[in-house]
Amino acid sequence: MATIAVPTPLPSPAADAESLRNAVQGWGTDEKALVEILGRRTAAQRAEIRRAYASLYKESLLTRLHGELSGHFQKAMVLLATEPAERDAKLAREALGRRGDDRDAWVLIEAACAATPDHLLAVRRAYRSLHGSSLEEDVAACPAFQEPLRKLLVSLVRSYRCAEGSVDMAVAKQEAAQLAEAIRRKKQPHGGEVVRIVSTRSKPQLAATFRCYKEQHGSDIEEDMKQYSSSQFARMLKIAVWCLTSPEKHFAEVIRYSILGLGTDEDALTRAIVSRADIDMKRIKQEYRVRFKTTVTDDVVGDTSGYYMDILLALVGKE
């Protein structure tokens, strides 16, 4: 459930493009107008505005935003104005150029698992168009990620899951037993069957498998991953399970841990809020309140400031 508060009546894309043009030229930038327009339009509406802006003014809106703004506000606005598949392709490229820690792996898992199969195909097309190589090839060649995590990430980013809702309960029970064998008895969550199941099955099929797992063993599969293995692979497998079946759990955690500690991880905070505002931010806010006994709004207000805070709050919406 999205949290974008679209105004009524909605201005035309050309009118919005003109308002944006007025906000970014002349003596100083009108950041408040940028927040009011881009923070209150859906992804489809922002795409129409980008096209209208390019047609009217013969320049890219993204280029203009990048040149006019700075800091965390700039990154948030540029990501917001970027087409979602292109945005995820760029974020994946950045993650592949870093150290390969948990938060870099999160970026790849989110693109592969937290959206629809068609979105992942669009991300792969955008990645090839932007960088001249395939996403799966670059993940496979990335020295920052070590085996067996690299094998899992490659399998996830190259997958194409069935989008239909049909479920085979016999398969669910069989694969729940295979997962338990690898995770609980052998304590080897990186086994080939685990990777195959998590990286190929449809989301409804996986949800049924994980329900069978809990019925058979009395605990959630992600709890057992944590109990029986402390490896980076097990942690990222848990994130993949969450993104595939309950993405609000993962993104609530991303927001919380981007704020906790000495200094804010603005990149993670921006990515989570910008990418999910059009999809399921309402569920994320509900999960956040239950798990952390506070609200996304309160934590954003307490840890950010200025127009950067304003755009995040516009996307988060009312609590």
Provide the annotated binding site: 26, 28, 68, 259, 263, 301, 303-304
Report the interhelical angle of 306-316 vs 281-292 (nearest 10°).
100
Record the tokens describing residue 154, joined without a space: 């490659």
Record the tokens describing residue 133, joined without a space: 């190589």
CB within 8 A of 58, min separation 6: which ones?
A: none
**Contact present, 46 and 11 (Cβ < 8 Å):** no
Known binding positions for Ca(2+): 26, 28, 68, 259, 263, 301, 303-304
- Map tokens 């003014």 to a residue: 57
Q: What is the C-alpha to C-alpha distance for residues 111 and 245, in angstroms, rounded to an integer?
A: 14
Record the tokens describing residue 250, joined without a space: 């993962």
Supply angle C-alpha 275, 277, 279, rounded to 5. Answer: 85
Q: What is the C-alpha to C-alpha distance for residues 171 and 199, in angstroms, rounded to an integer?
A: 15
* Long-range contacts formed by 210-219: CB under 8 A, 24+ apart: 210/176, 210/241, 210/245, 211/172, 212/169, 212/172, 212/173, 212/176, 213/176, 213/179, 213/180, 216/173, 216/176, 216/177, 216/180, 217/180, 217/184
Residue type, 261: G
- H helix runs in 114-167, sequence order: 117-131, 135-141, 149-157
Q: What is the C-alpha to C-alpha distance for residues 199 and 162, in angstroms, rounded to an integer?
A: 11
Cα-to-chain-centroid distance, residue 200: 19
**Contact present, 251 and 284 (Cβ < 8 Å):** yes
